[in-house]
């Protein structure tokens, strides 16, 4: 069979998570419908809390995942949309002001006002990853989404700027290149996940997306249709696994298994008599364990994490703006009882989100661990089709000016 050649209608997402590396190949038809044709899923080695800690091991994991996906899709993977996360990520809302040159807004004016908005002090070891416009104001009239062609003398724009450690971004690029691949774009993981699990209505009304993975909890807040806040908390499912391994003196692999099969976040929801059997360390015979005792270990850690999320929302001032509540995704959102506990803590509606995908491979894809991977593809598709409002700043080759021009063309074309 002949291998499919690089094609405009085929996009590849690469999610380098703390626990797994995922390569997803998707083909789009003329109607923009997505069909997933390849999937590579490998255990991540060399990642800590969302950041690459060992290049060699990460390269191997990526290579395997990409090969697997490439074989299944029968497609030669050349370039990928890749995610970035980690505690080094910072975000800030900023404002830009510029005069409108000829009384009517053109692309040049938009570029200038965006440049004014991103002209801020970024620590020397950080790079701008995204500049996300929120809304434009012309002569005091707020809430303009597409200013091109409008009359006025003075334009303002509010933007959400996301920065990350330059070294973390460079290490991702290094791994990608070592695998013989090219990165189309480096995308903040919660932006990708949000593309998969949030609806337009939720983003309008106000919503907080929380992707709880293995090493990091990635947060994104939307309101009035635009992104308002992002944050990363370096605590997630691996911490729960470690707690279980410590509490019951059992290997991490066993702790991970019983967490997924029997774990519950709310002690009060667990049958007091339900017993499970777990392996011990060092060849000792297996032991019996009450399921509620397991929940007793899980509950405080997840409770602590949810409280940290709440504190983050409170600090950022967006807690009162998320009318449609919280959407949980990522592997750890699969824990029984987590939705109930989150509702108790936030006093807001909480639901689980995962790729709402039907078709080829849907059995595998409809799982919250795939939200980022599918989102990377959706994000890539939206950008290619000039619908995305995200400006990718970080790039190894492109000059920033060029990417801004590309972006301006891309949203207003
Ligand atoms: N059904 C489940 N119940 C509870 N926990 C689960 C379940 N499935 C997966 N997990 C946990 O989810 C975590 C992995 O989730 P995910 O694949 O989203 O993380 P990741 O993308 O590798 O990491 P990160 O995004 O933090 O860098 C692990 O800690 C795993 O134990
Ligand atoms: Mg993840």
How are beta strands 350-352 and 182-188 bridged, if at all?
Answer: unpaired
The residue count of the chain comes to 413
373 lines ligand 1 (CB under 6 A): no
Over residues 198-216, the mean pLDDT reads 97
User: What are 141-190's pLDDT values in tens digits?
Assistant: 998 988 999 999 999 999 999 999 999 999 999 999 999 999 999 999 99
How far, in Å, is the centroid of ligand 1 from the Cα of 378? 21
H or E segment and range at residue 353: none
133 lines ligand 1 (CB under 6 A): no
Cα 90 to chain centroid distance, Å, stands at 14
369 lines ligand 1 (CB under 6 A): yes
User: What are 24-50's pLDDT values in tens digits?
Assistant: 999 999 999 999 999 999 999 999 999
For residue 344, how many other CB atoms are within 10 A of its CB?
12
14 lines ligand 1 (CB under 6 A): no
User: What are 309-346's pLDDT values in tens digits?
Assistant: 999 999 999 999 999 999 999 999 999 999 999 999 99
115 pLDDT higher than 80: yes
For residue 251, how many other CB atoms are within 10 A of its CB?
14
- Which of 13, 15, 19, 374, when mutated, tests ligand 1's pocket best, judged by the most ligand atoms within 8 Å of its CB? 19
Ligand 1 atom 9, closest CA: 331
85 lines ligand 1 (CB under 6 A): yes
215 lines ligand 1 (CB under 6 A): yes
Q: Which residues make Cβ contacts (< 8 Å) with residue 71, sequence separation at least 6?
A: 38
pLDDT for res 6: 65
Higher per-residue pLDDT: 400 or 196: 196
Residue 15 alpha carbon, nearest atom of ligand 1: 21
How far, in Å, is the centroid of ligand 1 from the Cα of 7? 32
H or E segment and range at residue 13: strand 10-16
232 pLDDT higher than 90: yes
C-alpha span between 88 and 199 (Å, rounded): 28
**Confidence (pTM):** 0.92
41 lines ligand 1 (CB under 6 A): no
Average confidence score pLDDT of the chain: 91
Say how many CA atoms lie within 13 Å of 183 toward its Cβ: 28
C-alpha span between 16 and 83 (Å, rounded): 7
Residue 215 alpha carbon, nearest atom of ligand 1: 26
DSSP characters for 140-186? TEEEES--TT-B-SEEEEEEEEEEEEHHHHHHHHHHHHHTT-EEEEE
Relative orientation angle of helices 291-316 and 252-262, to the nearest 10 degrees: 80
50 lines ligand 1 (CB under 6 A): yes
C-alpha span between 401 and 90 (Å, rounded): 22
How are beta strands 326-329 and 350-352 bridged, if at all?
Answer: parallel
276, 294 in Cβ contact below 8 A? yes
| Range of lowest pLDDT (7-16, 29-38, 91-100, 400-409) | 400-409
pLDDT for res 3: 66
Ligand 1 atom 15, closest CA: 331
Q: Which ligand is nearest to the CA of 332?
A: 1
61 lines ligand 1 (CB under 6 A): no
For residue 195, how many other CB atoms are within 10 A of its CB?
24
Q: Which ligand is nearest to the CA of 333?
A: 1
What is the three-class DSSP state of 276? strand
213 lines ligand 1 (CB under 6 A): yes
- Which of 52, 355, 369, when mutated, tests ligand 1's pocket best, judged by the most ligand atoms within 8 Å of its CB? 369
C-alpha span between 122 and 163 (Å, rounded): 8
Over residues 101-105, the mean pLDDT reads 95
How far, in Å, is the centroid of ligand 2 from the Cα of 285? 35
Q: With cut-offs at 50, 70 and 90, classify the pLDDT of residue 287.
A: confident
Q: Which ligand is nearest to the CA of 50?
A: 1
How far, in Å, is the centroid of ligand 2 from the Cα of 267? 27
Torsion of CA 118, 123, 129, 131, to 10 degrees: -20
pLDDT for res 408: 44
380 lines ligand 1 (CB under 6 A): no
User: What are 341-368's pLDDT values in tens digits?
Assistant: 999 999 999 999 999 999 999 999 999 9
- Which of 21, 85, 214, when mutated, tests ligand 1's pocket best, judged by the most ligand atoms within 8 Å of its CB? 214
Residue ranges of domains in the chain: 10-87+166-196+355-396, 90-163
Q: List the structure tokens of 244.
A: 């279980």
Q: List the structure tokens of 173.
A: 């690029």
pLDDT for res 93: 93
CB neighbour burial string for 157-169, b if at least 16 within 10 angstroms, e if fewer: bbbbbbbbbbebb
pLDDT for res 280: 78
Over residues 244-264, the mean pLDDT reads 95
143, 40 in Cβ contact below 8 A? no
C-alpha span between 399 and 396 (Å, rounded): 8
For 141, counting Cβ atoms within 10 Å of its Cβ (0-12 exposed, 13-18 middle, 19+ buried), the class is exposed
Q: Domain 90-163 class?
A: alpha beta
236 lines ligand 1 (CB under 6 A): yes
299 lines ligand 1 (CB under 6 A): no
Q: With cut-offs at 50, 70 and 90, classify the pLDDT of residue 399.
A: very low
Q: Domain 10-87+166-196+355-396 class?
A: alpha beta
């Amino acid at each position: 069979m002949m291998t499919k050649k690089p094609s405009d209608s085929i996009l590849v997402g690469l999610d380098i998570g703390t626990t797994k590396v995922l390569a997803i190949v998707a083909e789009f038809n003329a109607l923009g419908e997505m069909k997933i044709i390849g999937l590579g899923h490998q255990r991540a080695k060399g990642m800590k809390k969302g950041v690459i800690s060992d290049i060699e091991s990460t390269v191997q994991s990526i290579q395997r995942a990409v090969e697997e996906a490439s074989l299944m899709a029968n497609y030669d993977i050349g370039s990928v949309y890749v995610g970035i996360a980690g505690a080094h990520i910072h975000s800030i809302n900023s404002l830009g002001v510029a005069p409108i040159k000829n009384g009517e807004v053109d692309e040049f004016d938009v570029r200038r006002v965006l440049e004014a908005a991103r002209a801020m002090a970024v620590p020397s070891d950080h790079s701008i990853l995204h500049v996300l416009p929120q809304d434009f104001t012309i002569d005091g009239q707020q809430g303009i989404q597409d200013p091109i062609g409008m009359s006025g003398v003075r334009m303002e724009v509010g933007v959400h700027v996301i920065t990350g450690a330059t070294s973390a971004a460079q290490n991702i690029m290094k791994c990608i290149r070592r695998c013989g691949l090219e990165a189309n774009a480096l995308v903040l993981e919660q932006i990708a996940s949000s593309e998969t699990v949030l609806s337009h209505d939720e983003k309008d009304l106000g919503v907080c997306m929380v992707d709880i993975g293995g090493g990091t909890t990635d947060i994104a807040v939307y309101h009035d249709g635009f992104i308002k806040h992002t944050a990363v908390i370096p605590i997630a499912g691996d911490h729960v696994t470690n707690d279980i391994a410590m509490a019951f003196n059992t290997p991490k692999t066993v702790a991970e298994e019983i967490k997924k099969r029997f774990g519950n976040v709310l002690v009060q929801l667990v049958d007091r008599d339900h017993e499970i059997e777990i392996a011990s360390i060092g060849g000792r015979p297996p032991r019996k364990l009450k399921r509620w005792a397991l929940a007793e270990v899980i509950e405080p850690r997840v409770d602590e994490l949810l409280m940290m999320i709440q504190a983050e929302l409170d600090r950022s001032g967006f807690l009162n703006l998320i009318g449609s509540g919280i959407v949980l995704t990522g592997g750890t959102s699969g824990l029984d009882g987590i939705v109930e506990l989150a509702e108790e803590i936030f006093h807001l509606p909480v639901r689980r989100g995962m790729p709402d995908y039907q078709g080829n491979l849907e059995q595998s894809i409809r799982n919250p661990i795939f939200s980022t991977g599918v989102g990377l593809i959706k994000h890539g598709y939206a950008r290619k089709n000039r619908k995305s409002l995200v400006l990718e700043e970080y790039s190894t080759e492109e000059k920033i000016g060029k990417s801004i021009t590309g972006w301006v063309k891309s949203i207003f074309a």
